[in-house]
Each structure stands twice: as C-alpha cells, then as structure tokens.
Structure 1
Amino acid sequence: MTDSFTHLHVHTEFSMLDGAARLDELVAKAVQDGMPAIGMTDHGNMYGTLDFYKECNKQGIKPIIGTEAYMAYDSRTERPTRRGRIDDSGGDTEGGKKLYYHLTLLAENQTGYKNLIQLSSLAFMEGYYYKPRMDWELLEKYSDGLIATTGCLGGQVLQALLNGDEKGAIEKAARLQDIFGRDNLFVELQDHGLQAQRDTNPQLIEIAKKIGAPLLATNDSHYTHQADHESHDALLCVQTGALLSDTKRFKFEGSEHYLKSPAEMRYLFREVPSACDNTLWIAERADLEIEFGNPLLPEFPVPDGFDNDSEYLRHLTYEGARKRWGDNLSADVEEWLAYELKTINDMGFASYFLITWDLIKHARD
C-alpha cells in the first residue's frame, strides 16, 4: 500500500471558536503533502460544506464531506441537569453522563450527503440542548450512505473505556456497527501524546478485533500548522470566557492537533499500518458530486393514485378548468392547458406549483 494518507477528522474555521484552520491554507497543505483527498468534520454543523467543496475542487483534491456530530447519551429529548463547567468536551451532569458525546460521520455518496443534512438539521430542530444533538433513533433512520467512526476521547465508546466499562464500550461499538454496517463503522485511533489515548488505543484495537471492524487513524486536526496551536488556544479562551493565565481552564494538551504529513501519521501508527491504509480506502470509496446552478426544489408529497407530481398537477389543473368552463373544454382551452403544463414540467417546476397551490388552499381554508 502507498505511503500516502488522508485526513478524515478535520476541523476548519467553521468549527466556531474551536477550529483555527483557514480553508485555503488547510487545503493547500493537504495538496502540498500529496494527499489524494481531505475530509471536513466540523463540530455539529455543515456551515462550511460548500466553501470547502469549492476550495478542494479549485486546488485539485477530492473533498470528503462530514461532521463531528454531537450525540445524546440515549435520546435527543433528554435534558440532564448540568453540573460544573460546560465546554466542548461535553461537560458533566448530575447523573454522571455527559451532556453530549462526539461521533464522526462522513458522506460516502449522494445518499449519505442528504442523510447528513437531515441529521444535522434535526439535531438543531429536535435535539438542541447546549449543542445540536442527534441520537440512536435518528442514526438508525438516516444511516444509508454514511461512514461512521467511534470518534475521539469525547465519543461514547472512549468514554466507556475511560470509565472502566469495557463491556459497555464493546456494546456501543457493536451498536454503531449494526446501524452503519460492517464496512462502514471504523474504530478510530488518535495519538496526540496523551496518556488517555495511550491507555485506550490498545483497548480500541481489541474491540475492533472482537467486532470485526476496520481501524482508522486520524489526528483530530484543529489547526493547519503546529505553530498555530497558540492561536487555537486563544480561540478556546474566547469560547469558554477564560483567560490564558487561567490554569484550570479548558484547553488542548500539547501542540499536536495540526494537519500532520503522511510520513508523520504513518510513523505514529507504524504498528497498525492498516489504520492509515484505511484512510485511503475511504478516500477511494467517497463519491460525491454537488451540483451548482440548478434549482433544488422540495418534492411535493403526491396522494395515492398518482405516480408523480406532474400527473397530480395535471389532475388539479383539469379539475379547476372544468369548474370554470364545464366538462366540455374548448379546443383553445385544451391547447392552452397542454402548453402551460408542458412548460411547467419541462422546467421541473411541478412540485413548486403544487406547494404554492397547497399554501394558498391552506390560507383560504
């Protein structure tokens, strides 16, 4: 296998007050290092998706769209009482669980991209509690076309291990595997020199063996160059309302959360080279093209008995015409209606007209 590598756990400037990587510099670094692709997994949102996609295309590298989602422990409707400080690590609650956990999701194809959008939107609309949170129910409903990883130290699998619950960690990983599929759930390994990672990585490797899941090496990049770690630290202070001089504040340990070169990543994970190889496997599998310039209109849900929106629009049109001019429509009216309907259908606006009709009907009723 090649000595290349693809970063798939990457935060940009769109990870608000946490990502210190400008899109153009980030993508340029990946290109400079000869990477075939690069992922984007901003915290809890997809704000930067289109800008990232365009920048990657501009610089000639494959974009892989994703998000590092926030996940509730059980249900997105739960509202546990907060205890102590709140930061991006998930904080603590009175029940001993976190307010939210991290889960890395990547779109493998168009279906996955649409499901990622659905998950992101529903996390805001239905699960927002300190952060936009999704849950197991939503993941089960919108898992098609998505690749998931067990995540960082803030993920449910790692948190179980850190709490000494190896059985619970295996169960969480197996549940994710059941949802996403055998080749679509990766056990994620990170190594920033943290003792917690050094302690849990061997356990993660064993979990991967037990459930038959592939490994994945990532670096949870939050800034492009190692020298940028001080700027990132300042961002965290703004996020948490703390001072740089505050020794008890939330901060990243060390200066290793940058976009490391393939050689650096291969050296870090030299004992498990498949974890790096699998980043390239995902890069090969990722097949997403976002179209620009074409109108993207919502689809009107047509009632039973009609094959599509065009057929239902035709039915309503002739129903209205007969109310106005009787059952025997003149040749001029027939010709006029046929021309209007053909124009609407050729432009792909049938659902738009039906949605407008439905709104007006609702207002009148």
Structure 2
Amino acid sequence: MSVQFRDSLQQGFARMAEAARPFVHLHCHSHYSLLDGASEIGTLVKKAKELGMSGLALTDHGNLHGALEFYRKAKEAGINPILGYEAYIAPGSRFEKKDAANSKEASYHLTLLAQNRTGFKNLIKLASAASLEGFYYKPRIDKQLLEAHHEGIICLSGCVSSELSLALIKGGADAEDFREAREIAAWFHRLFGDRYFIEIMNNGVEVQRLQLEAAVDLARRMGLPLVATSDAHYVNRDDAVAQDVLLCINTGKFRTDTNRMRMENDSFYLRSPEEMYAHFPGLEDAVARSHEIASSVSIDLELGKRHFPVFQLPPEKTAEDYLRELCIQGLKERYAGDEEMLPGGELAPVVRERLERELSVINKLGFPNYFLIVWDFVRHARERGVPATARGSGVGALVCYALYLSHVCPIRYDLLFERFLDLNRKEAPDIDIDFCKDRRGEIIRYVKDKYGEENVAQIGTFGTLAAKAAITDVGRVLGWPIARVNQLKALVPEQLGISLDEALESGEELKKLYETDAEAREV
C-alpha cells in the first residue's frame, strides 16, 4: 500500500468517524497566546483537518491577534473558522485597579466565540476596551461591556479559572456557595440566552474533575446545556516540552524550578474526536454539542476592501486637482533658487515629467485622498514645530518630497518610485512617517479629532525568536552555562533572521553537534 493511499484512507476514516461522533475544538490557543501557546496557526488548522473536523475555534488569551490569519488559513483548508478569545473579566469594574496581589485575583477567564460578523465586531470592541481601559495585570473586560456588546457572541462559562468554575470548586455541594454559582450562571444566561453554555474540560487534572462534577450537577439543576472542550495549548502531545520551555521563558524560570507555573501533564494537545468521547463517558451529548455550536457559526468577513476616511476638499476642487496643486506649490518651494530644477521659476522638464508619471499612477490606483490625509497631519506637525519625516520606500516618491513628507529629492539621488507604488501592485502605499517621540501624541490626537476615533488604529508588530535568540533563551531555561550557550550560538551561520532549521541545513558544524550531542539536540 502506498504512503499516499494509506494517508488518504486514514483521513477518510477520520472524516467518517467525525460524522458518526462529531466534535469540534472550541477552546484552542495558538502562539498568539504569547509564550504560553505553542501552536502555529497553519499547523493547528492542518491538524484539525486531518482529524476530520468541520470547524475549529481560536481562543487566545486576551487578544484577537491571530484572528485574521486563522480565518484565512481555515477558509483555505475548507474548515469553518470560529473566531473567539479567552477573555479576562474583572471581578467588578474594569476601571478598578487596586488591591489585587496577582493576575488571578485581578480577573477571571471567560470563553467568547463570534457567531457571525456582528459578533466578531463586538469581540473587537471588547478586546480593544480591555487593553485601553481595563488593563490591570491583564487586558480585562467587565460585565458592563458584555451587556453593551454581547450581540452575536456565544459564551462558554470558561475553564477552571472562570468565575463560575471557581465558585463551583470552592463550594461543591455547599448550599451557600452553590447559590453563588447559580447566580453567576443565571446572570450570563439572562444576557446570552440560548448562546450560553456550561463549559467542562478533562485533561486529566484533578481540579478539572472537581469542576466537571459540580458543573454537571449545576447544569442539570438549571436546565443549561453542557459543552465539552479541551484546553489545547499545542498541536501534538510531543509538543508539550516545547510549550513548557515557552512558559519558562515567559515567567523567567528554569525548567528545574519546582515552584513555577507549568501544565500538569502532556494532555493539552489537539485531541481527536475519539479521544474526546473517551474522556467524557456518559457525557457524549456535551461532546457532540461542540459540533452543534460550531455549525451555528457563520462568519463572512469583508477583507480587502478599503475604508479610508475622507479629506475635506476646498470648494469646487477634486482630490486629483488639489493634490497636483499642492505638489507643484511644494516643489517650487523646495527648488527655489535652483536653476537646474526650477529654471525661470518653472519646474524643469525632468521634474514635471516625474511628477506627472507619479500622479498618474496615484490617480489610477485611487489614492489621491490618502495622500491628502497624510499631507494634512504632517502639515499640522510642521505648523506645531513637531519634527517629522518619511522613511522607507516612500522616500523614493517625488510626490512625498513635494508634500514635505520626506526630505530627500529622489531625482538627485536616483531613487525609484516603483519601489513605493506600482500599477501592478494593488496594495495601499505604505507611507511610514516618524514623529518626535516626545510629541507624537499631539499628532495622533489631531488625526483622531479630525477624522474620527473609529477611523484611527494603532498597530503592533510581533517579534519571533530567530536561531541565536532561541538558543539564548532555551539555554538559560535549561540552566546551561553562558559559555556553553555562546559556543552553540557561534555555530549558527551569520544570516539575518535565520531559523534553527535553516541553520542546521547550512551549518555543517552545528549539524554535526546536533547529531552527536544530546544536550545540544535538546536545545
């Protein structure tokens, strides 16, 4: 039997099994659960597909950073993307930020899933407010925010660190504490209605067993539906060690430390449907309900469409005409007294031809309004004496030089406009503007006030551990002497951003050490 045929047969059996005993993971963490989750999104999606699942949820800790990457890759794989996140919810108001000794006291956990596009928009509002208004140890929402933005959201009661689970674990069968748990569940049920589910887990951990028993009892008493999830932090069981090392990096601990944060076992991986049913005997309905919930989710995101704010033009002028006018005015100021570029007070043919060519591309791609907006806030910065300049490929545009976005003449330095903008590329031009760090807040406030808070977003970038950085951090976690770590790092080829796989492929000495030294191989 060929390997290809065998794999196809196995995948076929997996799909048949999924159809007979359906299950979809609704509680999964990717590497966007920073230094906690160890699942690369593409690998996570591929594994769910191999297991025959029709859908998959992404529920990273306190953020939606991976949502769009996950959405695209899940769609490409032909499985239903369920966009969610494991929210941190404040015990009281998100604005109360005192007296908590640690993050566990400052917030509970709650699993939120978007059922449709409206729900995803509300998740974005919740996650944004959590970071901007509720950050205290963790980005936190509160019940007030949930009341305002619950439409289109499915709520699972959460893991053992949720408000409900903690009340159940604390109280067990105690009447008073059980009443507290009932009140918590009743509040969420009133808000979410039939979109509220009691979440149960079984990763072989004692505290989960205690929560599960009490949660099943509560759900039956209150007539609330149960749903089984698995707190997946990595894709395969043998990824547990890598995930544990990530936790050590995150918390600044050694792997040998006894008193540190760690997962209790190696069961927090993406289980198959068969494994899930085996771990919830007598609760098969709760396992199957995950598939019912997933089937109720339909998220269709409008990607690729631009929603630029509109620059207010002077009366009886078009964006194209006004941009041209500003460019000619700016170039005459820039080249004042330069007879080569401005002979007789008029733009030289080389300047005019370059300007016309750039404006033609900008107009055909529909970006005059965009350039006017950037010109507007840079003009505001100049008027207020805030230093500002473009960097990157935008410096190659004469239009940017004319608008005072950049301060280098691209004609004199033979810089290419096509590196910045080209008819064959439909992406919006990336005009990076640096402002004085002490006063850039003034410019951000100007843009928000003029173009609307809803049209302005601040973004972040994610750093990954390249080969040498990974060796440094992992070597420290494993307790290696610095000299030994440096010796291993010295064998990594000098190549910007090189990965460990690439380093092993191209570095003969490193590869030899990897094959002969067990400690080096562990790193």
Work out whether the TM-score is over 0.5: yes
Please give the per-residue CA displacement for 1:142-177, whole angstroms capped at 9, x wherever unaligned.
000000111001100011122222221111111111
**What residue number does 1:122 align with?**
129
Deviates more, 1:260-269 or 1:206-215: 206-215
Aligned residue among 238, 248, 258 for 2:259: 248
Offset of residue 4 of structure 1: 2.0
**What residue number does 2:202 align with?**
191
| Residue pairs, 1:339-358, within 5 angstroms | none
- SS of residue matched to 1:265: helix
Structure 2 counterpart of 1:191, one-letter code: N
Aligned residue among 213, 234, 245 for 2:224: 213
**What residue number does 1:24 align with?**
42
Query: Quick check: 2:169–2:214 contact (8 Å CA) kept in 1?
Result: no
Query: Quick check: 2:110–2:158 contact (8 Å CA) kept in 1?
Result: yes
TM-score w.r.t. the length of structure 1 is 0.79
Structure 2 counterpart of 1:255, one-letter code: D
**What residue number does 1:294 align with?**
305
Please give the per-residue CA displacement for 1:204-258, whole angstroms capped at 9, x wherever unaligned.
0121123322111000100000111111111111111111111111111011110
**What residue number does 1:109 align with?**
116
- Which structure is richer in relative contact order (CA contacts within 8 A, separation 6 or more)? 1
**What residue number does 2:20 align with?**
2
- SS of residue matched to 1:163: helix
| Residue pairs, 1:215-294, within 5 angstroms | 215-294=226-305
**Cα distance in 2, alignment partners of residues 20 and 278 from structure 1:** 27
**Cα distance in 2, alignment partners of residues 167 and 234 from structure 1:** 40
Deviates more, 1:241-250 or 1:162-171: 162-171
- SS of residue matched to 1:157: helix
**What residue number does 2:93 align with?**
75
Higher normalized helix content (fraction of residues):
2
Structure 1 counterpart of 2:226, one-letter code: L
**What residue number does 2:76 align with?**
58
Aligned residue among 183, 191, 194 for 1:179: 191
**Cα distance in 2, alignment partners of residues 42 and 297 from structure 1:** 29
Query: Quick check: 2:199–2:226 contact (8 Å CA) kept in 1?
Result: yes
Deviates more, 1:261-270 or 1:64-73: 261-270
Aligned residue among 120, 136, 139 for 1:132: 139
Offset of residue 297 of structure 1: 4.6
Deviates more, 1:152-161 or 1:204-213: 204-213
Structure 1 counterpart of 2:68, one-letter code: L
Query: Is 1:167 equivalent to 2:167 in the alignment?
Result: no
Q: What do you get for the CA RMSD once the two structures are aligned?
A: 3.0
Larger Rg: 2
Structure 1 residue runs of 5 or longer lacking an equivalent are 92-97, 301-312, 322-332, 341-346
Offset of residue 284 of structure 1: 0.9
Please give the per-residue CA displacement for 1:309-330, whole angstroms capped at 9, x wherever unaligned.
xxxx9xx99xx86xxxxxxxxx
Count of residue correspondences: 315
| Residue pairs, 1:301-320, within 5 angstroms | none
Offset of residue 119 of structure 1: 0.2
Percent sequence identity over aligned pairs:
38
**Cα distance in 1, alignment partners of residues 126 and 42 from structure 2:** 27
TM-score w.r.t. the length of structure 2 is 0.56
Aligned residue among 149, 153, 163 for 1:146: 153
- SS of residue matched to 1:103: strand
**Cα distance in 2, alignment partners of residues 102 and 210 from structure 1:** 23
Structure 2 counterpart of 1:258, one-letter code: Y
Structure 2 counterpart of 1:52, one-letter code: F
